Amino acid sequence: MDSKKIIKAIQEVLPTDPDSWKILGFFNTKQEILSFGNDSKILGRLFEVIIQPYLKQAAQKLGYTLGESSSQTVYPDFWFITPKNRLIAIDIKSTYRKGKNGKIGFTLGGYGSFLRNNTKNIYRTYSDYDLHLIIGFVYTRTSNPTKGVSTVQAMSTIVPPYKNVQLFVQEKYKIGGQKKGVGQYK
């Protein structure tokens, strides 16, 4: 499995315009924009939604099929299916810069579940995957984001809850550490 080729194919389809990663809120049927705050779980899910069409393009470019998890608790978020029916895991992770030096940290997931039991909380089995990739989104929280409801006409004045989005595509083992993240996984 040529990980560099796959990573390059993903990187080549990703937009370079920073505005492509800027989401202002949710639209309702009254054409109002509802802000979503800076909850990291909501932002993480938004990055998953944003990245999906680009992953589809990369899959087509590579001659693969894109699969998507039907549940937030199943690993991975996305996967490529190769012509030989092998899988490439693609997990989307996001975090915000902390402090003056911009230190970051990722929780890479509950390895304990599917590493101890090859079928628990995972699409197919762990041994079906030839490669595990992370697409990581790193952002800065905005100090005064817009809150509440805005009109479409006021769209240009909306301040999203994050800025300075950077992303990377990397093999999971290269960014993994030895200590627990949030402590809710054993």
Cβ atoms within 10 Å of 104's Cβ, excluding its own: 15
130 in catalytic set: no
- Please state, rounded to an integer, the average pLDDT across all residues of the chain: 86
Q: What is the DSSP letter of 75?
A: B
Assess whether 91 carries a catalytic annotation.
Answer: yes
Which one of 2, 4, 84, 91 is the catalytic residue? Answer: 91
* pLDDT > 80? residue 139: yes
- Catalytic site residue 77? yes
Residues 6 or more apart in contact with residue 96 via CB below 8 angstroms: 38, 40, 104, 138, 139, 140, 141, 162
Q: What is the pLDDT of residues 70-115, one digit of tens each?
A: 888 888 999 999 999 999 999 999 989 887 776 676 666 655 565 5
Give pLDDT tens digits for 125-136. 888 999 999 999
Please pick, among 41, 93, 128, 186, the residue that the annotation labels catalytic: 93
